[in-house]
Structure 1
Amino acid sequence: MTNKISIYAPVSGDVIALSKVKDDVFSSGMMGEGFGVEPSGEEIKAPVSGTITMIAESKHALGIKTADGLEVLVHMGLDTVQLHGEPFDILVEENAQVEAGQAIAKMSIESIKMANLPTTVLTVITNSQDMLTGFDFEEGTVNGGDAVGTAYVKEQTAAKTKLSYDELADVIIKNVGGEENIKGLIHCITRLRFYLKDEAKANDDVLKNTKGVIDILHAGGQYQVVIGNEVVDVYDAVMKKLPKLQDSDMDTTPVDQSGNAFQRGFNNLIGIITGSMSPVVGVIAASGIIKGILALLTLPQLGSLLSTTSTLYITVSAMADASFYFLPVLVGYSAAKRLGGDPIVAAVIGAFLTYPQIVAWGGKYHTMFAIGGFKFQFLNYTYSIFPMILAAWMAKKLGDWLKKVLPSYLQMIFNPMITILVVSTITIVITGPVIQGLANGIADVINMLVKSSGWIGGLIIGAFYQVLVIFGLHWGVVPLVAQQIAGSGQSALNAIISVTMVSQGAAVLAVAIKSKKSDMKSLGFAAMISAFCGVTEPAIYGINLRYRKVFVSGLIGSGVGGFITGLMHGTMYGFTGSLIGFSSFFNPKNPADLTSFYAFLLSSVVAITVSFIVTWVWGYNDEMEMGKKVTKKATPK
Structure 2
Amino acid sequence: MNNQILISLAAPVDGKLIQLSQVKDPVFSQGLMGQGFAIEPTNGDIVSPVTGTVTLVSETKHAFGIKTQDGADVLVHLGIDTVELKGEPFTVLINQGDQIEAGQPVVKMDLKMIADAGKQNTVILAITNSNDILKQLLTSNFDQNVKAGATVAVASIDEIVKKKTKIGSGKYDQLAADIVENVGGTENINSLIHCITRLRFYLKDDAKANDQKIENMDGVISVAKAGGQYQVVIGQAVTDVYDAVIAQIGSEYANNSATAEAVAQTTKEANHSQDIWSKVKSGISNFIGVLTASMIPIIGILAGAGILKGILAALTGFRVLSTTSGTYVILNAVGDATFYFLPVVLGFTAAKKLGSDPIVLAIVGGIIIYPSLVTMASKASTASTTFLGIPTTLVSYTSSVFPIIVAAWLGKYVEKFLKKIIPLYLRSVFVPIIEALILSLVIIIGVGPIITALSKGLSNGLVAIYSFSPTLSGLVLGGVYQTMVIFGLHWGLIPIIINDIATNGHSYINAIVSITIVAQGGAVLAVFLKTKDKKLKEVSLAAAISAFCGVTEPALYGVNLKYKRIFVVASIASALGGALTGFLKVNNYALSGSLIGFPAFITPGVGIGSNFYGYLISHYGTLVISVALVYLFGFTDKMLAKKADPMNLNVKMA
- TM-score, L = length of structure 2: 0.48
Which structure would you say has the larger Rg?
A: 2
- TM-score scaled by length of structure 1: 0.49
